[in-house]
Amino acid sequence: MTSQLFMQQLANGISLGSLYALLAIGYTMVYGILRLINFAHGDIFMMAAYFMTFSIVTFKLPWYIAIIVVIIATVALGVLLEKVAYRPLRDAPRMSIMISAIGASFLFSNLATYLFTGVPRGFPDIKVLTTTVKVGSISLSVATLITPFITLVLLYLVLFITNKTKIGMAMRAVSRDFETAKLMGININRVISTTFIIGSALAAIGAILWGSRYPSIMPLMGVMPGLKCFIAAVLGGIGNTTGAVIGGFILGMSEIMLITFLPSLTGYRDAIAFIILIVVLLVKPTGLLGEKVTDKV
Amino acid sequence: MIINKKNKLILNILLFLAFATIIILLDTNKIGDPYIKRVLNLSAIYAIVSVSMNLVNGFTGLFSLGQAGFMAIGAYTVAIFTVPLADRAKIFYITPQNPILAQIELPFVIALILGGLLAALVAILIGMPVLRLKSDYLAIATLGFSEIIRIVFTNTKSITNGALGIKSIPQMPTMWVFFGVALLAIFIIWLLINSSYGRAFKAIREDEVAAEAMGINLFKHKVMSFSIGAFFAGIGGGLLATLLATVNPNQFYFTFTYNFLLIIVLGGMGSLSGTIIASFVVTVGLELLRFFDSPLTLFGVNIPLFRPGLRMVIFSLLLMVLVLFFRNGLLGQKELSWKVICDWFNRKKRKKPAEGGRA
Amino acid sequence: MKRKLSLFICILMLLSLITACGGSQDSSATADEDVIKIGVFEPLTGMNGGGGLQELGGIEYANKIYPEVLGKKIELFVHDNKSDQGEATTVVTRLVEQDKVVAIIGSYGSAVSIAAGDIIRNAQIPTMAASATNPMVTQGNDFYFRACFLDPFQGEVMANYAIEQGAKTAAVIMQNGDDYSVGLGNFFINAFKELTGDDNSIVDISEFQLNEADFNAILTNIKAKNPDVIFAPSAATTAPLIIKQARDLGVESLIMGGDTWENPAVIDVAGADAEGIVLSTFFDENDPATEEARRFVEGYKEELAGSEPIIPAVAALGYDAYILLRDAIERAGSTDGVAIRDALRETKDFEGVTGIINFTEEGDADKNIAVIKTVENGQFVYIDTVEVK
């Protein structure tokens, strides 16, 4: 293995990992507060990619305006999802809420197939993001190059919101103890909506960066990234934002490294994520950075 | 009518006779056609898998999403061992079949049971570590295992023929294969949940800590429920393989499990009879909804909404409505018995004069 | 309250069941005499939803151009098989038993076609697959025909072409779990090894997963081995991603694919990076092989009205499948399954859009000519016609 090859694969891994990380933050925040695997998160991400395609190709918006429009639309969709599919089940058994999440995900992908058909669409070419630059002997697109930085900046922003603002404090309180937080007069619904706003906005940004790198948009594009990013969140310690980002990077990197070092096993790529998940759940269910949660009896 | 033991027995026999007559009539092509038979056979298979899933999810309270993987094991066992030896070389035309497997041909029944046992064995191996996990972690872990099984099957080309799938699986001449096995499977599960094991399962579902305090061995019972569930899912998968005469790994993508999830939610988590009814309602209903997919012209006007995909949108909308507004499904945790039906009719009778009086 | 509601829903479902049954019987009873029914089963949703939809476009257009046979109107019965085998067997049985079709067209994706095979053989309904290239589809099935060429042929064509271009080494990328991709890839590997006489001429074989978007790692590995050509048979959904990422990584090898690549989506998504790719296909839009092809290209382009800049190859095949069946029914002079099958077998030098068609013993279109195309200035451009004996 040449060092040049390795460096290129390293870059591939970091860039894929940072995309996973962006989505994983959304999962981890929702789980932290609602104790719910938001199965529909991957589909929100898929819808955001379609929104972007439509706003640029159909409505001919300039890309910088389109990005804002897409983030707003995606956030609206995320909040709507929470209001319709999750809020009515707040006091229902966990299993019902999860089935509702699976149902929502199922509905979104069927709706997308119905509305946009299975014929793949090209993601609009945003020149600023897709130009290729050469760093030494490694070639990278601008999107690849800036994704890790965007991820880190957004992580910092999310950490700032959760740690330094009032709503963030409320979020932490709700995540620690739902019932007590309610008794203390925290507006639970507002906290949860905020969580979905942040998560969906990150999914939208993730979708734009993803689309610039992998510009084929189709109804089922969100399924696997969705599952993998949830796994990244579990790996990092569910509920922990920094953990989710680290988990995303590790997952992206291990997929790429499997192909780099064991090229005969490329057929098992998707299994890696699930194997990591199961190992983490068995060895350290709290993940890398997760706190020990004691079950209340 | 009053329901006592004797009446109940008579009713049960009558019900079985009616059921048997319908199957015999269908079988001899007196009524229906192969399309109706196929849909009914598929419903019977879905009933087996859904009931097995309900045993784990509804009765034991373990949220498992691994059914597709266990079905794959059963389906592939039947596929690998029952295809006539003469056809093997043609099917495995890229990667030759493993020389040992290429010489083994088993009768269908043995392959079917073997498939179920293998599924159960895998379930025990998976279950030992995974069943310690709690609700949603368990769900995602079982889903993960189901995907791992599918990916392994895609890659072990000399055994499963990988992506190319296996065809020419011998088909069964009679509907009794599907309905007989379904009856037997449901009867065994019914016996199980009404035994002391079944009560233990339900205790675990209601409150794990309390169940443990009562002296129930949590781990043993969970593994038991999980592996029996997997066994019947494997049987269901084997039947599916013979019904379709072909298997392919992509069939067992994890979203396949969602079909059964919908069925048990509709039927009621923890209700066998509800699940069986729901299996038929969903399978037949999906066929009936098919007209949503073809363009509809009403009074010479083309309704633009009707086009491919609408059926699945409606299907998923129904699932959402069900979860949001009818969380207990058709029967909740109750069972449909003669007594329930009888009470229901009696209540109606009693109600009628009362209403008349008011008027 | 809830109990009443759920009861109400149950009754509603039952009612719809009864009415729907009645409805379907009505339609089949009245229309028996004056129309000839041809069934179509295609994946319109699910993994192959895109390809199925494009193929259906060609079939429906053919129905518009040739709406009649034996003096009767042809009615198409279209059903979605959701890219799922179980669903495929159900809809084909439905076509046979409820819709009472005399012939069937379908399906995109070999797996679903194979699943339907036994039902078709037992019911003796002649069926024409438009683009299912897996040999197993028609193997041992008297009633299954196909309008396209097979994977082994296409693999050989591409290997031949690569070697003509002076290629000494090749890398192959296949989709793990996709029978089309794995089949074609393996035939290419065998043909390439045989033609070069060197087992090491295939320097890399990589597989990718269902719905995968990231090919950077695979392509980086391939780049390091610097093959002369990369052969990547794959669906139109993934093809542009492979092409684009390869070029972004600075891979300069010739990139080649199969017939699925002749799809507007490839150029649309890959953009400038699609320039110079090579693919084998069935027909050339700009140099129609037959009179039929010329008419089809003109007419269908108008029909598409710019919604797709290029005619997808599968649409041309769908069109051919339809006119082949129609021709056979015409010649058979009846709607009897066996008669139509025999007529199909006797098809001689039929002028289709995708060339002159005869059938082999197995019922495969005996095509020994493939068209090689490349992409120039955002258009598929004809380079060569390859003949393999």
For C269, the closest of A122, A220, A266 (CB atoms) is A122
Q: Give C350's strand partners.
A: C357
> What kind of architecture, by CATH, is found in domain B37-292+309-350?
Orthogonal Bundle (1.10)
Which chains have at least 3 CB atom pairs separated by less than 8 Å from chain B?
Answer: A, C
Q: Do C250 and A218 touch (CB under 8 A)?
A: no
Is the pLDDT assigned to residue C82 strictly greater than 50?
A: yes
Cβ atoms of B185 and B48 within 8 Å: the answer is yes
Q: Is B269 on the interface with A (CB under 8 A)?
A: yes
Q: What distances in angstroms separate CA B110 from CA B81, B84, B115, B169, one per listed residue? A: 9, 15, 8, 14
Of the listed ranges A170-179, B69-78, B272-281, C7-16, the least confidently predicted one is C7-16
Q: Find the CB nearest C49 among A117, A210, A256.
A: A117
Distance between CA atoms of residues B307 and A118, nearest Å: 13
Rounded to whole angstroms, the Cα distance separating C77 from C100 reads: 10
* Rounded CA separation C160/A164 (Å): 66
Give pLDDT tens digits for A132-189. 888 777 778 888 889 999 999 999 999 999 999 999 999 989 888 888 888 988 999 9
Higher pLDDT, C8 or A253: A253
List phi, psi (to 5°) of B192: -60, -50
- For residue B59, give the nearest of B201, B218, B268 by alpha carbon: B201
Interface test with C, best of B94, B286, B336 (most C CBs within 10 A): B94
Tens digit of each residue's pLDDT (9 = 90 or more) over B157-204: 899 988 888 888 998 888 999 999 999 999 999 999 999 999 999 999
Closest chain C residue to B277, measured at CA: C10
Cα separation, B206 vs C292, in Å, equals 70
Q: Tell me the pTM.
A: 0.89
What CA–CA distance (Å, rounded) separates A91 from B119? 36
Mean of per-residue pLDDT scores for chain A: 89
Nearest to A113 among B61, B132, B312 (CB): B312
In this predicted structure, which of A40-54, A159-173, B50-64, C12-26 has the lowest mean pLDDT? C12-26
Q: Do A281 and B133 touch (CB under 8 A)?
A: yes
Q: Residue A216 and residue C238: Cβ atoms within 8 Å?
A: yes
Residues on C contacting A at a C-beta cutoff of 8 Å: 43-54, 176, 204, 206-214, 216-218, 220-221, 223-224, 236-238, 240-241, 244-245, 248-250, 265, 268-269, 271
User: pLDDT tens digits, residue range C187-239?
Assistant: 999 999 999 998 889 999 999 988 788 999 999 999 999 999 999 998 888 89
Considering only CB atoms, which chain C residues are within 8 Å of B290?
79-80, 94
Within 10 angstroms of residue A215's Cβ, the number of other Cβ atoms is 26
Query: Mean pLDDT over residues C75-88, rounded?
Result: 88
The 3-state secondary structure of A163-207 reads HHCHHHHHHHHHHHCHHHHHHCCCCHHHHHHHHHHHHHHHHHHHH
Task: Provide the 8-state DSSP code for C364.
Answer: B
Q: How far is C129 from chain B (nearest CA, A)?
A: 17
Size of interface B-C (CB pairs under 8 A): 127
A117 touches chain B (CB under 8 A): yes
Q: ipTM of the assembly?
A: 0.89
Q: Is the pLDDT of residue C299 over 60?
A: yes
B26 at interface of C, judged by CB pairs closer than 8 A: no
C173-232 residues touching B, CB cutoff 8 A? 175-179, 181-183, 186, 209-210
CB contact under 8 A, A100 and B57: no
> What's the pLDDT at B275?
94
Angle (deg, nearest 10), helices A223-236 and A94-116: 150
* Residue from B53, B67, B126, B140 whose CB has the most chain A CBs within 10 Å, to mutate: B140
Contact across the interface for A106 and B152, Cβ inside 8 Å? no
- CA dist C354 and C372 (Å) reads 13
Name which of B154, B171, B288 is nearest C177 (Cβ-Cβ).
B154
The interaxial angle of helices C291-304 and C49-65, nearest 10 deg, is: 110
* Residues of chain A contacting residue C249, judged by C-beta atoms under 8 Å apart: 8, 139
Domain parsing of chain B, residue ranges: 1-32, 37-292+309-350
Q: What is the mean pLDDT of chain C?
A: 85
Of the candidates C211, C240, C271, which has its C-beta nearest A223's C-beta? C211
